[in-house]
Amino acid sequence: MADSSFDIVSKIDRQEVDNALNQTVKEVGHRFDFKGTGASISWSGQKDIEVKANSEERAGAVLDVFKEKLIKRGLSLKIVDAGEPKLSGKEYRLVVALKEGIDQDSAKKISKIIRDEGPRGVKAQIQGEELRVSSKKKDELQDVISLLKGKDLDIALQFTNYR
Digit-coded pLDDT (tens) for 58-98: 999 999 999 999 999 999 999 999 989 999 889 999 999 99
Closest Cα partner for 68 from 42, 60, 4, 155?
Answer: 60
Same domain, 91 and 108: no
Maximum Cα interatomic distance, the chain, rounded to a whole number of Å: 67
Q: Note whether 105 and 113 are within 8 A (CB).
A: no
Same domain, 92 and 107: no
Helix/strand/coil percent split, the chain, to 5: 40, 25, 30
Task: Quote the number of domains for the chain.
Answer: 2
Domain with 47 in it: what CATH number? 3.30.70.990
Same domain, 108 and 78: no
Residue 20's domain comprises 14-98
Same domain, 94 and 106: no
Q: Per-residue pLDDT tens for 10-53?
A: 999 999 999 999 999 999 999 999 998 899 999 998 889 999 99
Domain boundary among 64, 98, 132: 98
